[in-house]
């Protein structure tokens, strides 16, 4: 007998898909839209088009494969409209647990072989922790302590790609897409979110973005606050210090206007400043419960002025927070942040908001592990973004379902019944197919789709617990 929770979830899923259909255009896109989202949430090891076709239409796999391939790779529907609809449907569930507190910008990499998939180049890949052949996408998520949701997502197109007309044509890169740095893409996403009237939050970013002075200044110009990771060699004016005033006018030529520094009056690096702080400047602060214990560390905070090339300015930059983390047992401080959060913010709240950036790590891990964000095997610009949009749509639905299954619900609870797979069928990209020629579809590997399916909604009951670390999701799914 079907579990009532699963039946209710399936009904809500149908209503959710209907909402997406309302913005996706032609009625003939409704079925592939639903099937693609179902495939993303089915218990499959690989969420590329071919295996999803097999699990969503086992009796007509070839036809389904072509339908889904055309829908995601060639369909002329708007990613922006679908993401806006996802946001419209999911955001009320997120804010029911508290107002939006943060806008989080980051990027994620997808290892790729060859040079023909759009945007592939040798660049830093976070998933591998090193430089390698990969694609990189920049995203913006909105978050509170309950959940987070990506609201913008765009492929970073390296300079060699942006200037290569042949590769652009073959992969369908739009004519209006030129080279943009990752911080420039992030700023475009932030501006679009501001124009769309999204609930405001402090902009959180790691040092890859936070070291960009222009990005931080542009965020401030939009009326937004930020917490930005920086590097240890970033220079600041220590508390109570500021640049020298412009030189006294001699009466000849134009009056000097630029602030200045000299050999005896110079800024210092944040690392030097941190190492010189007295012991009483450091406080142990806890920010949330982890999977095993409360997370805490030692922090110091100071009011400073950013010194980066301020000798080109006519007045010094305003004061902001410098937050420093120095965990017990470490030889030196490990992390540094600038923040324009209010001067009267409590120390604990400053640390808590700074550490909320962990949610983007959760986003990417769940998007990759649960709904196959990195599994798209096409080469084109449109397909890359369509697949990501539908992954975000599926993820958004899972967010909205987090509290629908009690922790005591049976692990076999399922929204969809696992479809029967043609005997001996093996999709391309299956790790199992590479291991053994007699293996079944990778969706059937331990635990098997028939004996003990790895059900997505069972994972949702675990994901609703805010104390789980990102790695706990994978551990749960493989138990």
pLDDT of residue 44: 77
Distance CA 13, CA 19 (A): 10
The length of the chain, given as a count of residues: 479
Distance CA 270, CA 306 (A): 10
Helix (H, G, I), strand (E, B) or coil at 325: strand
Closest CA to 463 of 334, 366, 382: 366
pLDDT of residue 407: 46
Instruction: Give me the residues of the chain with pLDDT under 50, please.
Output: 1, 3-5, 406-414, 429-479
Closest CA to 477 of 151, 462, 467: 462
Q: Which residues touch 107 (CB under 8 Å, ≥6 apart)?
A: 126, 136, 137, 138, 139, 156, 182, 208
pLDDT of residue 425: 53
Distance CA 124, CA 288 (A): 30
Distance CA 271, CA 43 (A): 47
Tell how strand 202-205 and strand 226-230 pair up. parallel
pLDDT of residue 262: 87
pLDDT of residue 458: 40
The pTM is what?
Answer: 0.84
pLDDT of residue 8: 80
pLDDT of residue 194: 97
Q: SS3 breakdown of the chain: % helix, strand, coil, rounded to 5?
A: 40, 20, 40
Q: Which residues touch 400 (CB under 8 Å, ≥6 apart)?
A: 12, 16, 89, 90, 93
pLDDT of residue 311: 86
pLDDT of residue 251: 80
pLDDT of residue 427: 54
Distance CA 326, CA 336 (A): 9
User: Do the beta carbons of residue 441 and residue 333 sit within 8 Å?
Assistant: no
């Amino acid at each position: 007998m079907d579990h009532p929770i699963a039946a209710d979830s399936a009904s809500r899923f149908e209503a959710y898909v209907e909402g997406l259909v309302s913005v996706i255009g032609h009625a003939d896109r409704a079925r592939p839209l639903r099937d693609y989202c179902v495939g993303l949430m089915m218990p499959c090891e690989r969420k590329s088009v071919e295996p999803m076709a097999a699990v969503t239409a086992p009796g007509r796999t070839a036809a389904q494969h072509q339908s889904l391939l055309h829908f995601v790779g060639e369909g002329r529907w708007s990613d922006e409209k679908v993401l806006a609809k996802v946001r419209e449907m999911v955001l009320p569930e997120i804010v029911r647990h508290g107002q939006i507190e943060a806008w989080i910008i980051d990027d994620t990499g997808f290892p790729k072989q060859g040079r023909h998939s759009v945007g592939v180049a040798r660049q830093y890949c976070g998933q591998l922790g090193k430089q390698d052949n990969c694609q990189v996408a920049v995203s913006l998520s909105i978050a509170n302590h309950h959940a987070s949701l990506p609201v913008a997502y765009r492929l970073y197109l390296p300079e060699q790609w942006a200037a290569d007309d042949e590769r652009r044509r073959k992969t369908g890169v739009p004519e209006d897409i030129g080279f943009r740095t990752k911080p420039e893409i992030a700023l475009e996403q932030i501006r679009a979110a501001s124009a769309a009237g999204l609930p405001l939050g402090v902009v959180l970013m790691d040092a890859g973005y936070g070291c960009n002075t222009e990005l931080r200044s542009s965020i401030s110009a939009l009326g937004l606050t930020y917490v930005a990771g920086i590097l240890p060699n970033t220079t600041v004016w220590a508390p109570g210090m500021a640049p020298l005033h412009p030189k006294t006018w001699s009466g000849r030529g134009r009056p000097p206007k630029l602030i200045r520094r000299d050999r005896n009056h110079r800024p210092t690096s944040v690392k030097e400043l941190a190492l010189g702080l007295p012991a009483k400047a450091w406080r142990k602060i806890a920010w949330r419960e982890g999977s095993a214990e409360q997370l805490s560390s030692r922090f110091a905070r100071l009011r400073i002025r950013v010194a980066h090339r301020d000798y080109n300015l006519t007045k010094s930059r305003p004061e902001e927070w410098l937050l420093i983390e120095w965990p017990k047992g470490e030889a030196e401080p490990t992390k540094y942040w600038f923040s324009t959060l209010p001067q009267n913010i409590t120390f604990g709240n400053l640390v808590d908001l700074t550490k909320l950036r962990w949610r983007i790590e959760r986003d990417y891990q769940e998007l990759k592990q649960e709904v196959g964000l990195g599994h798209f095997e096409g080469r084109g610009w449109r397909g890359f973004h369509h697949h990501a949009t539908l992954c975000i749509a599926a993820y958004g639905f899972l967010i909205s379902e987090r509290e629908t299954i009690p922790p005591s619900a049976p692990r076999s609870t399922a929204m969809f019944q696992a479809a029967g797979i043609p005997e001996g069928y093996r999709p391309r990209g299956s790790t199992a197919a590479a291991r053994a020629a007699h293996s079944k579809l990778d969706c059937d590997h331990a635990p098997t789709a028939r004996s003990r399916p790895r059900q997505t909604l069972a994972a949702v009951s675990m994901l609703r617990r805010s104390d789980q670390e990102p790695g706990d999701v994978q551990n749960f799914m493989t138990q």
